[in-house]
């Protein structure tokens, strides 16, 4: 899609929307000048306020809404007051003023209840629920969504029911329960299909598209974005169009990141080439931002600015990425949106890290962890319970009433017994007085001992606080180290580009790992894959793994054959560990299998240090033995690693492993899993799709391990030829 075409479209829609909205508003204002009763005036003020809000003039919407509310409250027009409270509350929400928005929605509920107008009451409940949703109070949001849903079911109000299902779908989306979210979104969409087309259905389709974006199904995402776009375009809904532009930009950025190319169809079948994804994504975000800015729609500023920051990050314009993400963070703070604060901090962490500004990178990494923990705690403490149409909160209210009635009966019985209790207490006090002298004497002796004990406790508490702080610092550092180590492993993109069908089962014993998997394209065009077990595990093992990986990377600069690569890697490791301070020089290194795949000629070449390579063909397993020496200092470190070339057939499964799973204790007798049992497992699952093989291995390990601890890092890779 060409930028000038989009700019012209946005300009025309914006101007036509403004003109149409102004025309309707002007005609309503003329009505106010006529000699009409106050009841009509209040209603017209509400209509003007709604029109202005719809066209994005939120401040003017508030002005007219408040005038109408003043007339309505003065004359006790409860129904009109409820409508005006809803209109004003919605304008405040668009301006990011959550406190005033909440107050007005609560008042809308109060006045709706006075009129017994169920339709307005349901709308008021829904509005308050949506506000609580926006500030991540999910439990409260779910409560008011269900109150609204119950009323709309009784009235069979289809349009409002569709809105309810859409809102509940949003709650599941925030809980990352995408199948449940889609169920409610599709239920909402199916109801809207029976009604005249409106903007609410466009919002539902937009939400469905967001789910497909999360699931990396970008063509489906673009399909639903396009359907939403057509509805907003026909209805000239500027804010709706802005949301679609922004979300389309997100899809293009995700497609670029994961290299999952879409068919490129966007809006009226205009095409965008993969090479244009980043530029087009930035253009869409910019168009959306201009509309938000014109409408002063602060709530979406944060997500839009942070989205532009991410695009600049992938365009390697790091100063721009930092500038936009900092602006996004400011707006996220002002609207109290934890999700958007997390996104902005994550972008800043990446941009500073790529700029080699370690101090600021770590600052925003720690801030991301803090916000993520807050969201996690919030989602767990406020995690709503899905009780479809059961309305458990009403049951709880009735239960509380019954409990209160029981308490009243108990209270009456207690009164009758008070006189007896008073006499009994008097007798007890006399007896206590006799023993008081002896108690007081003992008290003085114990007081001295308690003071000494309190001093000790204060010291212990201070020490405990210091330990907790140190523990947090260590945990944060280890988590950051895990991110650094992960960046050295073979990426999913690299593996996807070079392997037809594969899985990686990687389960470290601790947060960081001595086991690792690494891959690279060799100078001869073949694809090398290493599965390795470094000396140690945890932090020492992770540090050793980084040395091993950098040594492998250095070796492939000069060598293509697996044996030569391992020989050169061994030399580099020994040289680097000579200076470790020990008398003999470091004996650390790794066990490793290195396979070079030549898929054109249906063969692979391997060299292995202690780790075997297995091939399963049908019901037969072929084991290719390793050299019995590590990649590191050893009695045999002057001997070259041997190299073997193996012919393969289509559908053969090649497995590379470390010793983590065979050495795992478990089962009914607490024994090791052993290599024999692992071979039998591979034979039994080799015919399955690779994702099912991985799941089968994970389940087998869980059952075998039971309540026992994991003893070592585990890494298993399977490749189908």
Residue pLDDT, tens place only, 354-381: 999 988 988 999 888 888 877 766 555 4
Whether 463 has a pLDDT exceeding 80, the answer reads: no
207-248 confidence digits (pLDDT tens): 998 898 888 887 788 788 788 878 877 766 777 777 777 877
CB 127 within 8 A of CB 112: no
Higher pLDDT among residues 307 and 242, named by residue: 307
Higher model confidence: residue 197 or residue 547? Answer: 547
Residue 265 has pLDDT above 60, yes or no: no
**Which of 321, 307, 306 has the alpha carbon at shortest distance from 354?**
321
Q: Please tell me whether residue 15 adopts helix, strand or coil conformation.
A: helix
Alpha-carbon gap, residue 544 to 533, rounded angstroms:
10
pLDDT of residue 17: 44
Pairwise CA distance, residues 600 & 576, whole Å: 37
Q: How confident is the model at residue 606 (pLDDT cuts 50, 70, 90)?
A: very high
Q: How far from each other are the two terminal CA atoms of the chain, in whole angstroms?
A: 40
- pLDDT over 70 percentage in the chain: 79
pTM value is: 0.44
The pLDDT of residue 646 is 95
| The domain defined by 489-720 carries CATH number 3.50.30.30 | no
Tokens matching residue 312: 């600049």
Tell whether the torsion through CA atoms of 275, 277, 282 and 288 is positive or negative: positive
Write the pLDDT tens digit of every residue in 75-110: 999 999 999 999 999 989 888 888 999 999 999 999
Instruction: Name the H helices within 33-95.
Output: 38-54, 58-74, 78-94
Higher pLDDT, 26 or 555: 555
Count of residues in the chain = 721
Residue 382 has pLDDT above 70, yes or no: no
User: What's the pLDDT tens digit per position in 7-35?
Assistant: 433 433 443 444 444 556 777 888 887 88
Domain boundaries, the chain: 400-488, 489-720
| pLDDT grade for 258, boundaries at 50, 70 and 90 | low
Q: What is the pLDDT of residue 558?
A: 92
Collapsed DSSP state (helix, strand, coil) of residue 272: coil
What is the per-residue pLDDT for 385?
Answer: 46
Strands (E), 348-445: none
Q: What is the DSSP letter of 190?
A: H
Structure tokens at 372: 């993520």
**Interatomic CA distance for residues 18 and 527, integer angstroms:** 59
59-68, 297-306, 375-384, 525-534: lowest mean pLDDT where? 375-384
């Amino acid at each position: 899609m060409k930028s000038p075409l989009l700019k012209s479209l946005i300009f025309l829609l914006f101007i036509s929307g403004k003109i149409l909205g102004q025309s309707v508003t002007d005609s309503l204002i003329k009505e106010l000048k006529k000699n009409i009763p106050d009841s009509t005036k209040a209603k017209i003020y509400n209509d003007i306020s709604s029109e202005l809000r719809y066209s994005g003039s939120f401040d003017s919407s508030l002005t007219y809404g408040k005038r109408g509310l003043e007339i309505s409250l003065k004359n006790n027009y409860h129904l009109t007051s409820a409508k005006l409270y809803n209109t004003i509350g919605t304008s405040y929400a668009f301006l990011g003023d959550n406190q005033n928005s909440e107050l007005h929605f609560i008042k809308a509920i109060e006045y709706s209840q006075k009129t017994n107008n169920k339709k307005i009451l349901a709308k008021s409940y829904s509005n308050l629920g949506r506000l609580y949703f926006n500030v991540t109070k999910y439990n409260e949001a779910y409560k008011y969504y269900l109150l609204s849903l119950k009323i709309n079911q009784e009235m069979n109000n289809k349009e409002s029911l569709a809105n309810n299902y859409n809102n509940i779908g949003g709650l599941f989306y925030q809980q990352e329960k995408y199948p449940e979210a889609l169920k409610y979104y599709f239920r909402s969409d199916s109801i809207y299909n029976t009604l005249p087309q409106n903007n609410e259905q466009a919002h539902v389709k937009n939400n469905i598209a967001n789910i497909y974006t999360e699931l990396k199904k970008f063509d489906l995402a673009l399909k639903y974005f396009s359907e939403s776009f057509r509805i907003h375009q026909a209805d000239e809904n500027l804010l709706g169009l802005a949301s679609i532009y922004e979300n389309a930009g997100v899809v293009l950025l995700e497609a670029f990141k994961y290299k999952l190319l879409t068919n490129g169809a966007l809006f009226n079948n205009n095409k965008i080439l993969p090479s244009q994804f980043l530029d087009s994504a930035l253009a869409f975000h910019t168009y959306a931002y201009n509309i938000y800015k014109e409408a002063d729609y602060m709530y979406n500023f944060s997500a839009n600015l942070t989205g532009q920051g991410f695009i600049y990050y992938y365009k390697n314009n790091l100063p721009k990425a930092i500038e936009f993400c900092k602006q996004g963070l400011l707006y996220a703070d002002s609207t109290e949106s934890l999700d958007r604060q997390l996104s902005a901090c994550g972008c800043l962490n990446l941009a500073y890290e790529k700029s080699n500004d370690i101090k600021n990178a770590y600052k925003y990494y720690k801030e991301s962890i803090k916000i993520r923990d807050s969201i996690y705690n919030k989602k767990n403490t406020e995690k709503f319970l899905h009780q479809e149409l059961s309305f458990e909160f009403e049951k709880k209210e009735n239960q509380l009433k019954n409990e209160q009635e029981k308490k009243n009966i108990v209270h009456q019985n207690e009164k009758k017994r008070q006189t007896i209790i008073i006499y009994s207490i008097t007798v007890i006090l006399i007896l206590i007085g006799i023993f008081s002298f002896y108690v007081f004497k003992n008290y003085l002796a114990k007081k001295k001992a308690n003071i000494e004990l309190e001093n000790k406790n204060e010291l212990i508490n201070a020490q405990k606080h210091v330990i907790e702080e140190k523990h947090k610092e260590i945990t944060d550092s280890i988590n950051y180290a895990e991110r650094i180590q992960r960046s050295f492993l073979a990426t999913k993109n690299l593996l996807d580009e070079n392997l037809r069908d594969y899985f990686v089962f990687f389960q470290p014993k601790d947060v960081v790992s001595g086991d690792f998997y690494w891959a690279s394209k060799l100078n001869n065009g073949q694809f090398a894959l290493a599965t390795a077990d470094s000396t140690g595990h945890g932090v020492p093992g992770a540090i050793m793994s980084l040395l091993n990986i950098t040594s492998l990377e250095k070796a492939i600069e000069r060598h293509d054959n697996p044996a030569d690569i391992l020989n050169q890697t061994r030399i580099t490791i020994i040289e680097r560990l000579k200076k470790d301070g020990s008398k003999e020089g470091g004996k650390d290194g790794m066990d490793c299998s290195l396979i070079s795949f030549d898929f054109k000629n249906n063969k692979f070449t391997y060299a292995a240090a202690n780790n075997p390579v297995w091939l399963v063909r049908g019901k037969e397993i072929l084991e290719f033995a390793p050299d019995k020496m590590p990649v590191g200092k050893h009695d045999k470190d002057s001997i070259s690693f041997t190299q073997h070339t193996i012919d393969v057939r289509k559908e053969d499964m090649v497995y590379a492993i470390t010793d983590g799973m065979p050495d795992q204790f478990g089962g009914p007798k607490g024994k090791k899993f052993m290599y024999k049992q692992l071979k039998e497992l591979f034979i039994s699952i080799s015919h399955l799709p690779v994702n099912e093989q991985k799941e089968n291995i994970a389940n087998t390990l869980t059952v075998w391990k039971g309540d026992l601890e994991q003893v070592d890092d585990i890494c298993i890779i399977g490749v189908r030829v």
